A and B are shown apart, each in its own frame.
Chain A
Amino acid sequence: MGRYIVRRILWGVLLLIVVAALMFVFFRILPTGDPAKLRAGRTASAKLLSEIRHDLGLDKPLLTQFWEFMKELFLHFKLGYSYYSSAPVTELIKNRLPATISLVAGGALIWLLSGVTVGIISAIRRRTVLDRASMGTALVLVSAPEYWLGLIALYFFAADIGKVHVFPGAGTYVGLSSDPGKWFTSLILPWLVVAASNAAIYARLMRGSLIDVMGEDYIRTARAKGLRERRVIVRHGVRSAINPIVTIFGLDIGVLLGSAILVETVFNIPGIGRLNYDAITHADFPIVQGTVLAAALFIVCANIVVDIAYAYLDPRVRYS
């Protein structure tokens, strides 16, 4: 197991190196605009431009630039400076991380609990009105785009512009450490929007998985022992049916940490997605590069966590 984890981590690092290299290629070789020009602004003189080129190391051969980029990144965890604000990219990402983690963690908790619960109830009350209503709602939520749901939520429930003034609206986010109460209320709507489509997917997945499992021979054995039906469902059924959920849960969190762009933008939450969105609109490539790498890092980590979790959930899986 230990060796397996080490190997997975090494593969993860390798994958990150490849992603970093691709990022370098995309931003230097593809015609995305001259970083020096972008940095200097519209009315820069030729002298200023060449100074900037020299400062950024853009006058060096491409391979040297690549080597220095990779060295900075993997040995010093440095991603350069924002063209726009001149702030170090790693600092910017670090500052934005708490907001994104707050959004994703709260949303994930909601979608996991609600999705799994609805899925279980639908599975054991199969073909009842309750099941059909839940699955119908799930279908609507899966189909609804996040930014649309976000806008609808604001339109109806935001304290400033909503029809009913219930929850704080866009741009009200404050850090957990500065005011836990406001942190919580400001995130309620974003959490619900992030959770909605995922909860629907999880409910459908959980329902299907549990229906399959309840047809297994070992469920019949559990009943034959004379166990209570509740115990048969939870200890024997759900215990098995939850495995695929755990797998995608880890991956979904990893993906969302790097890509909550829409919800963070709609609700104006200063997270990594919002940072990325702003950087794209300003052609602030070091930040785009940084956020993409951060997203890759989250996904790689999530994969490793899921693999390890799987070995603990299913004793038949023993990596060697």
Chain B
Amino acid sequence: MSSRTLAGTSEPLLRVEDLHVEFHTEDGVVHAVDGITYQVLPGGTLGIVGESGSGKTVSSLTTMGLTRPQGAHISGRILFEGRDLVTLSDAEMRKIRGNDIAMVFQDPLSSLHPFYKVGAQLIEAVRAHNDVSKSTARERAVDLLGLVGIPDPARRIDDYPHEFSGGMRQRAMIAMALANEPKLLIADEPTTALDVTVQAQILALMERLQRELGMAIVIITHDLGVVAELADDIAVMYAGRIVETTSAERLFESPQHPYTWGLLKSIPSLEGSRERELVPIPGSPPSLISRPRGCHFHPRCAYVQPEHKVVDPHLEQVPGEPDHHVACLLSPEERRGLWHALQEGRTPHEAIETVGLQEGGA
């Protein structure tokens, strides 16, 4: 909620403007991120949602300057506290990384160095940005492990990563990210590699830490359930673009993009009837080298119309909802009608008939 209470008063902590990230490969140019804009307020939480290959991870790695070693071509602006990170030198970027902006990754086992003790890796993170003695850094590392809820931290600090459980490893990764009290924490699929019960613990931990430390969080996930818990605002990404963005409540109340509907309808629910069928999104995300013409989502969209295969939609404000933007060529009335029909449990096919659209865009 913090983002909206602060919305009027504070400047965004992070503002990404028209960011493009391309990789030039032997097969062609990969348009990993294709002109995205979003912002995160101090202490706020943004959820970036999309399938793998939607560009959500690349955009965040770019914020950290971590796509530079891979030879990424980056354009646009990434304003962090007013400074454009895209134009910073590697040395300046290094001072921000792990200090003002920290990151937690998907697989905590492969993300920790297998040959160093957890403590040594924490101490290294502390000393990367603070000129403190090893023993001071060690005390800090013990505190950090305690903060993220690892029991008996003074002893466990001398364990190797393989001696930790999956959940504890992710806690250790979070502790490492918090080492220098970052203003922004980027969490890339932080719970995906974990057991369901542990997932909930990690999310609760992140919520608590955000409350206690007041940092902003960008959480990247393919799971709308995860961001529903945590995020103030949500950006839905598809094929390197943001296709819908609004507050978390608005997104769940009145989603506008057929891709968002697909994501919502493919979440299993314990409530309601067991009869309610999951509606998977057909097909798979497009190649980012040769994307479909027109709306990039059209080959997978049940509501596609002939002009959608030609015209490239842009993010536009949803009428009557100032903070809600969507990139869809269907009219607001058609979208409202379709979502209403889907809500009533109709199939996409039936929904099309209700609204009176042409089937399949033939």
Interface residues of A (CB under 8 A from B): 216-218, 220-229, 235-236, 239-240, 313-316
Q: Is residue B141 contacting chain A, with contact meaning CB distance below 8 A?
A: no
Q: Looking at the complex, which one of B66, B90, B95 makes contact with A220 (CB distance below 8 Å)? A: B66
> Shortest CB–CB separation between residue B153 and chain A, in angstroms?
19
A223-B66, A223-B97, A226-B129 known; 5 new pairs, CB 8 Å cut-off, are A218-B112, A224-B105, A225-B128, A315-B115, A315-B160
> Is there contact, CB below 8 Å, between A217 and B176?
no
Q: Are A224 and B98 closer than 8 Å at their CB atoms?
A: yes
A216 interface neighbour in B61, B97, B110, Cβ under 8 Å: B110
Q: Chain B interface: which size bin?
A: 20 to 34
| Closest beta carbon of chain A to B78's beta carbon, Å | 16
B227 at the interface (CB under 8 A from A): no
Q: How far, in whole Å, are A225 and B103 apart by their CA atoms in the complex?
A: 8
Contact A315 B114 (CB under 8 A): yes
Task: Give a binary string over B180-219; 1 marks a CB under 8 Å from any A CB, 0 the rest.
Answer: 0000000000000000000000000000000000000000
Q: How far is the CB of B209 from chain A (nearest CB, A)?
A: 17
Answer yes or no: B107 CB below 8 A from chain A CBs.
yes
Partner of B124, one of A225, A239, A240: A225
Contact pattern, B 131-164, Cβ under 8 Å of A = 1, otherwise 0: 0000000000000000000000000000010100
Selected from B99, B107, B173, the residue in CB contact (under 8 A) with A226 is B99
Residue of chain A at shortest CB distance from B173? A221
Q: What would 18 A/B residue contacts be, using CB atoms closer than 8 Å?
A: A218-B111, A218-B114, A220-B111, A223-B66, A223-B69, A223-B97, A224-B64, A224-B97, A224-B177, A225-B98, A225-B125, A226-B94, A226-B95, A227-B94, A227-B98, A240-B113, A314-B114, A316-B162
Cα distance A224–B162 when bound, in Å? 21
Interface flag for B96 (CB, 8 Å): yes
Q: How far is B61's CA from A103's CA once the two chains are assembled, in angstroms?
A: 50
Does A225 contact B105, Cβ atoms closer than 8 Å? no
B residues near A224, Cβ cutoff 8 Å: 64, 66, 97-98, 102-103, 105, 177
Note all chain B residues with C-beta closer than 8 A to A240: 113-115
A314 to B99, CA, bound (A): 30
Pairs A-B, 5 closest by C-beta atoms: A226-B98, A226-B97, A225-B98, A217-B110, A218-B113
A228 pairs with B110, CB closer than 8 A: no
What residue in chain A is nearest B61 (Cβ atoms)? A220
Contact A239 B115 (CB under 8 A): yes
Residues of A within 8 A of B112 (CB): 218, 221
A222: contacting residue among B61, B113, B114, B162, CB under 8 A? B113
